[in-house]
Amino acid sequence: MTETSIERLASVGLSDGEAALSWFGQASFAARAGSVTALFDPFLSPYDGRLHASPLAPEEAVGIDVVLCSHEHVDHLDVPSIGAIATASPGATFVVPSPIVDMVTEAGVPADRVVGMQPGDPLDVGGLTVRAVPACHGVTMDDAYGFGDTLSDGLIRFVGFVVDLGGVRIYHAGDTIHFDGMEELLSPLGIDVALLPINGRDAEREGRGIVGNMDHREAAWLGSRIGAGVLVPMHYDLFARNLGFPGALVETVGREFPEVPVLVPARDRPFVTTKRTSAT
């Protein structure tokens, strides 16, 4: 029988103070340390225009403790997969921004397994410590770029997550551009692994209704400003008309921010990170 992506991640030997991560494309990651496994923005179902299928099928998402989804766009909150993930991992808790809790329960996840978060104090969820931080994005270009509060009775609708896993602090930015105070917010948190989008934005894509993100240089600059232990690019590979280029990130870091370690992962190939060090 073929080993699943989650089984492959589970087979990685880890010491204290280490975490293993696997990237499944776009913003989808699994992370494990000790007996705890988390999924970030799992986009696992077939979808028109995908350049590659997810290496992890929804029904293979077994043994997951926490599923974190940063906002409601399909490549971050994959509604067709949510119910299957919940069934495959009946002990999993789903963590989402408070304004979209109903989207998760309507997808078939029992309400007592869904946690809505807002930026503020961290929560202990499923063996993890999770902190929500704002992300500056938009449901459509009509409300971009902001925090979604005007759509959500003052609540933040788009978030990133800072997760403590096995002594390693992981920042998954979700979809975001840089916003005022971002680096001051993140710097004190001691980010070991920064998972940052690099696909950028431009007038042509925004004219087609695509709400953009940081580009490779902005991600490199942010990684430097927050002292990230390692910068891992994401959200650049899945749709032909919304690509980014990790090679440009590596070149920019080498030229302008050589103090920032960068890891460009291969899809579905686990890598190991430690506290405030580069990945191996």
Residue position matching structure tokens 């600059």: 221
Question: For residues 205, 221, 123 and 270, what is the CA-based torsion angle, rounded to 10 degrees?
Answer: 80
Strands (E), 100-248: 114-117, 123-125, 128-134, 159-165, 168-172, 193-197, 230-234
Query: What is the predicted pLDDT for the residue at 278?
Result: 44
CB 28 within 8 A of CB 41: yes
Of 190, 178, 180, give the one whose Cα is nearest residue 217.
Answer: 178
Q: Which helix (H) or strand (E) holds 271?
A: strand 271-274
Residue range 106-158, pLDDT digits in tens: 999 999 999 999 999 999 999 999 999 999 999 999 999 999 999 999 999 99
Q: Specify the 3-state DSSP secondary structure of 215.
A: strand
Q: How many CA atoms lie within 13 A of 73 on its CB side?
A: 22
pLDDT recorded at residue 182: 98
Give the number of other CB atoms < 10 A from CB of residue 62: 16
Residue 82 to residue 88: CA distance in whole angstroms:
10
Domain locations along the chain: 5-9+18-269
CA distance 170 to 165: 7
Per DSSP, the three-state class of 119 is coil
- With a cut of 50, list the residues of the chain below it in pLDDT: 278-280
For 217, other C-beta atoms within 10 Å of its C-beta total: 17
Backbone angles phi and psi of 210, in degrees to 5: -90, 115
The structure tokens listed for 104 are 């998760």
Peptide bond into 145 cis (omega under 30): yes
Contacts of 61 by beta carbon, 8 Å cutoff, 6+ apart = 6, 39, 42, 44, 81, 84, 85, 88, 89
In this structure, are residues 246 and 233 in contact, taking their beta carbons and an 8 Å threshold? yes
φ, ψ at 105 (rounded to 5°): -65, -35
**What pLDDT score was predicted for residue 279?**
46
3-state secondary structure of 217: helix
pLDDT at 276: 75
Average pLDDT, the chain: 96
Classify domain 5-9+18-269 at the CATH class level: alpha beta
What local confidence, expressed as pLDDT, does residue 277 receive? 56
Tally Cβ neighbours within 10 Å of residue 58.
19
CA angle centred on 32, ends 31 and 38, rounded to 5°: 55
Q: From residue 77, how far is each of 15, 19, 85, 189, 231 by CA, in Å?
A: 32, 24, 12, 26, 23
